């Protein structure tokens, strides 16, 4: 009774083999991440300092810090958010709470999916044509941020819509059956219960936008400028473009400088992601159903 | 029981209902009397929930529902052009199969409907307290929750949640309460408690209750409607339906030959 048979032995071997295979693939997956981070910290770490963050590049961009680029990225991302978040959330609310499933909403959904699939360089060209030339904003923070906003809009819409749909339908039925209008239902029940997910999506979008290079390089971000941006019609430097520039376009840059820039960029993204995760955990801990 | 002389609270006339091309109700003409509990029984898919849901027009948000005929509640066809949906929902409360309290405090749940329909911008706190206590007293929940009114309603037991779902309807003073298998998610003890509560609420409200549970229909209703395949087969006082059913189909169903 209950003794191991030859069949059991064989099955267990196969089982062990597959387990090993899947584990190896998982490790392969995180390996590049570890290597990249390790390289960056090893090579770029020594460059980092408070001075590096808060001074401008000097000596033809071969020395000094990244402050104008850092500030520029904050401007670009900030203005892009001001545009994309309200529009995206409003559109998501319409699609999830008001629209019924018909050919019109299906076309809109298709458009959102397609918009998300457009390569960023195509967005860049659109940005040049529409915002820089047609609307006459010139190469400016406004043109670049609008381009970024359009590019990230699908992300905001999709993540917001998912958070809204995660609110149980029973809550809506409860409200409607008591005579609440759609808006009363959204305002008092749906939004309070999805705000954590919506904000998480927004923060993730920030981290994505931070790293974008193509959409801003023709529309508002410049190689080098001695001036800090004063408003949305100024041009600006940006971290992502700055990294590209010091890594490939400027002769005589010390080896570790680009790594320092990359570390700052990745640091910003990681910071945003950590905030988003912490925030989500905090809000999730409070809600219950 | 003297139920014959009561006026009708809900009167449906030749009600037909389609989900797309599927016809769910056929020529339903009923008079549901005021101030008693009427239960709707029948096998799954017989249209009893559909009928219940069309009485407060909650079916409508499904775009493909089509209705023909009329449902008069307190003498007014709720499908008339000049009828305000919000007022329909206010007068005709609905309790769902799964308790669905909102994820806010117990107190806010009770006041949710009241606040929606209150014309005053601010009601004095003492008045609100009275409303909360009164509603919770009526559903026999006050003693359990009076010290934790600010706790989340979703932390309550299912039985308490379902009582709360009934309590939140009461402050707007509805005339009709619709209940869609209100006990089916509850354990036997909870079922008994909620049934008892529903029994207490009759006279004050006209109660229409869908149930799968034959024993429940027999225990906790005064009149009974048996439906089959979208048609009303029999409508009679509960006692006589269970003792001497007039139709063969009713007898078969009650004896458990199908369903």
Q: Give pLDDT, residue B147.
A: 92
Q: Is residue B22 domain-resident?
A: yes
User: Quick one: closest CA in B to A170, which residue?
Assistant: B100
Q: How far is CA B83 from the centre of its chain?
A: 21
B159 within a domain of the structure (yes/no): yes
Quickly state the pLDDT bin for A195 (edges 50, 70, 90): confident
Q: List the single residue in A with minimal CA-CA distance to B173.
A: A178
Question: In a mutagenesis test of the A interface, which of B109, B112, B182 is the best target, namely the one with the most A β-carbons within 10 Å?
Answer: B112
N-to-C CA span, chain A: 48
Contact flag A175-B102 (C-beta cutoff 8 Å):
yes
Q: Is residue A241 part of a domain?
A: yes
* Residue B259 domain flag: no
The tally of domains found in chain B comes to 1
Residue B7 carries which DSSP code? P
Q: Among the residues of B64-157, which ranges form H helices? A: 85-91, 106-117, 125-138, 142-145
B58 neighbors A173 (Cβ within 8 angstroms): yes
- For an interface test with A, the pick among B100, B111, B162 (most A C-beta atoms closer than 10 Å) comes out as B100
Evaluate whether A203 touches A275 at the Cβ level (below 8 Å): yes
* Residue B172 CB coordination number (10 Å): 21
Q: Does the residue A276 lie in any domain?
A: yes
| ipTM score for this prediction | 0.83
Decide if pLDDT at A289 tops 80: no
Which pLDDT tens digit goes with each residue over A234-248?
888 888 998 998 888
pLDDT of A286 higher than 70: no
Residue A55 inside a domain? The answer is no
Closest CB to B89: pick one of A170, A179, A188: A179
pLDDT for the residue numbered A255: 83
C-alpha to C-alpha distance for B107 and A270, rounded to whole angstroms: 42
pLDDT of residue A287: 61
Q: Who among B87, B88, B96 is closest to A170 (CB)?
A: B96
State the pLDDT at residue B26. 93
A188 assigned to some structural domain: yes
Question: How long, in residues, is chain B?
Answer: 259
pLDDT-derived band of residue A53, with 50, 70 and 90 as boundaries?
confident
Closest-CA distance, B52 to chain A, in angstroms, reads 12
- Quick check: B221 and B199 in contact, CB under 8 A? no
Domain presence at residue B62: yes
Residue of B nearest to A194 (CA): B103
**A231: in domain:** yes
Residue B1, domain member (yes or no): no
Of A20-29, A257-266, B115-124, B164-173, the one with minimum mean pLDDT is: B115-124
Q: What is the DSSP string of B198-235?
A: HHHHBTTBEEEEE-S-HHHHHHH-SEEEEEETTEEEEE
Helix (H, G, I), strand (E, B), or coil: what is residue B16? strand
Q: How far apart are CA B10 and CA B122, in angstroms?
A: 34
The answer to whether the CB atoms of B112 and A181 lie below 8 A apart is: no
CATH number, domain at A277?
1.10.3720.10
Q: Which residues contact A285 (CB under 8 A, 6 or more apart)?
A: none
HEC-encoded secondary structure of A68-117: HHHHHHHHHHHHHHHHHHHHHHHHHHHHHHHCCCCHHHHHHHHHHHHHHH
> What pLDDT does residue B3 have?
52
Residue whose token pair is 């008092």: A188
User: What are the angstrom distances between the C-alpha of A108 and each of A94, A203, A250?
Assistant: 11, 24, 44
Answer with the residue of higher pLDDT: B64 or A28: A28
Q: How many domains does chain A have?
A: 1
Given this model, what pLDDT does residue B77 score?
A: 93
Q: Please count the helices (runs of H) and the strands (runs of E) in chain B.
A: 10, 10
CATH code (residue B25): 3.40.50.300
Burial of A99 (0-12, 13-18, 19+ CB in 10 A): middle
Establish, for the pair of chains A and B, how many residue pairs have beta carbons separated by less than 8 Å: 64
A180-183 long-range CB contacts below 8 Å, 24 or more apart? A180/B112, A180/B116, A181/B86, A182/A97, A182/A98
Domain-embedded: residue B200: yes
With beta carbons less than 8 A apart as the criterion, state whether A141 and A235 touch. yes
Confidence check: pLDDT of A152 > 60: yes
- The residue ranking higher by pLDDT, A57 or A141, is A141
Look over chain A and give the mean of its residue pLDDT values, rounded to a whole number.
Answer: 88
State which residues form the domain around A140: 61-286
In a domain, A91, yes or no: yes
pLDDT tens for chain B, 259 residues long, are 455 678 889 999 999 999 989 999 999 999 999 999 999 999 888 899 999 999 989 887 767 888 999 999 988 999 999 999 899 999 999 999 999 999 889 999 999 999 888 887 788 889 999 999 999 999 989 999 989 999 989 889 999 999 999 999 999 989 999 999 999 888 888 898 899 899 989 889 999 999 988 888 888 899 999 999 999 999 999 988 988 888 888 888 888 766 5
pLDDT for residue A25 is more than 80: yes
CB B15 within 8 A of CB B5: no
- What residues of chain A lie within 8 A of the CB of B185, using their CB? none
- Cβ contacts of B54 within 8 Å, gap of 6 or more: B15, B17, B25, B67, B71
Quote the domain boundaries for residue B145.
Answer: 8-254
How far is A115 from chain B, CA to nearest CA, in Å?
Answer: 29
- Asked if residues B54 and B31 have their Cβ atoms less than 8 Å apart, the reply is no
Q: Is residue A203 part of a domain?
A: yes
* Within-domain flag for B17: yes
What residues 79-98 of chain B have any CB closer than 8 A to a CB of chain A?
Answer: 85-90, 93-94, 96, 98
Residue B139 lies in a domain: yes
Residue listed under structure tokens 């749940």: B109
């Amino acid at each position: 009774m209950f003794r191991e048979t030859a069949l059991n032995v064989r099955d267990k071997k196969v089982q062990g083999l597959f387990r090993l295979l899947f584990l190896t693939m998982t490790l392969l997956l995180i390996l590049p991440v570890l290597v990249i981070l390790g390289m960056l910290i090893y090579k770029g770490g020594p460059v980092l300092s408070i001075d590096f963050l808060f001074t401008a590049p000097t000596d033809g961009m071969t020395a000094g810090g990244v402050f104008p680029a850092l500030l520029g990225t904050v401007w670009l991302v900030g203005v892009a958010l001001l545009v994309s978040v309200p529009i995206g959330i409003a559109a998501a609310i319409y699609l999830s709470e008001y629209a019924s499933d018909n050919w019109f909403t299906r076309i809109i959904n298709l458009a959102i999916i397609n918009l998300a699939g457009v390569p960023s360089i195509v967005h860049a060209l659109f940005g040049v044509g529409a915002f820089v030339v047609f609307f006459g904003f010139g190469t400016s923070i406004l043109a670049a941020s609008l381009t970024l906003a359009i590019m990230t809009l699908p992300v905001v819409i999709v993540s917001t819509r998912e958070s809204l749909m995660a609110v149980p339908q029973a809550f809506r039925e409860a409200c409607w059956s008591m005579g609440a209008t759609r808006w009363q239902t959204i305002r008092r029940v749906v939004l309070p219960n999805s705000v954590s997910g919506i904000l998480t999506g927004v923060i993730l979008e920030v981290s994505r936008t931070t790293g974008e290079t193509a959409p801003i390089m023709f529309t508002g971000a410049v190689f080098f400028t001695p001036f800090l941006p004063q408003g949305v019609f100024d041009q600006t430097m940006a971290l992502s473009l700055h990294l590209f520039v010091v890594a490939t376009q400027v002769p005589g840059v010390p080896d570790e400088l680009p790594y320092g820039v990359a570390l700052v960029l990745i640091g910003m993204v990681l910071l945003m992601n950590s905030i988003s995760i912490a925030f989500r955990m905090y809000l999730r801990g409070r809600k219950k159903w | 029981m003297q139920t014959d002389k009561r006026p009708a609270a809900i009167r449906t006339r030749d009600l037909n209902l389609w989900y797309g091309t599927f016809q769910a109700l056929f020529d339903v003409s009923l008079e549901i009397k005021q101030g008693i509990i009427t239960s709707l029984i029948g096998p799954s898919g017989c249209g009893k929930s559909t009928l219940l849901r069309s009485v407060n027009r909650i079916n409508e948000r499904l775009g493909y529902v089509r209705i023909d005929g009329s449902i008069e509640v307190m003498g007014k066809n709720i499908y008339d052009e000049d009828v305000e949906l919000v007022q329909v929902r206010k007068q005709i409360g609905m309790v769902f199969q799964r308790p669905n309290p909102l994820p806010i405090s117990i107190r806010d749940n009770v006041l949710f409907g009241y606040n929606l329909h209150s014309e005053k911008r601010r009601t004095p706190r003492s008045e609100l307290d009275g409303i909360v206590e009164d509603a919770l007293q009526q559903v026999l929940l006050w003693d359990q929750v009076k010290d934790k009114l600010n706790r989340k309603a979703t932390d309550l037991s299912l039985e308490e949640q379902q009582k709360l779902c009934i309590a939140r309807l009461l402050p707007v003073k509805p005339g009709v309460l619709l209940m869609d298998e209100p006990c089916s998610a509850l354990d036997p003890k909870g079922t008994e408690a909620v049934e008892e509560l529903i029994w207490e609420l009759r006279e004050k409200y006209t109660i229409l209750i869908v149930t799968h549970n034959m024993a429940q229909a027999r225990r906790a209703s005064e009149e009974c409607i048996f439906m089959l395949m979208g048609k009303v087969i029999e409508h009679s006082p509960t006692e006589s339906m269970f003792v001497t059913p007039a139709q063969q189909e009713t007898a078969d169903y009650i004896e458990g030959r199908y369903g």
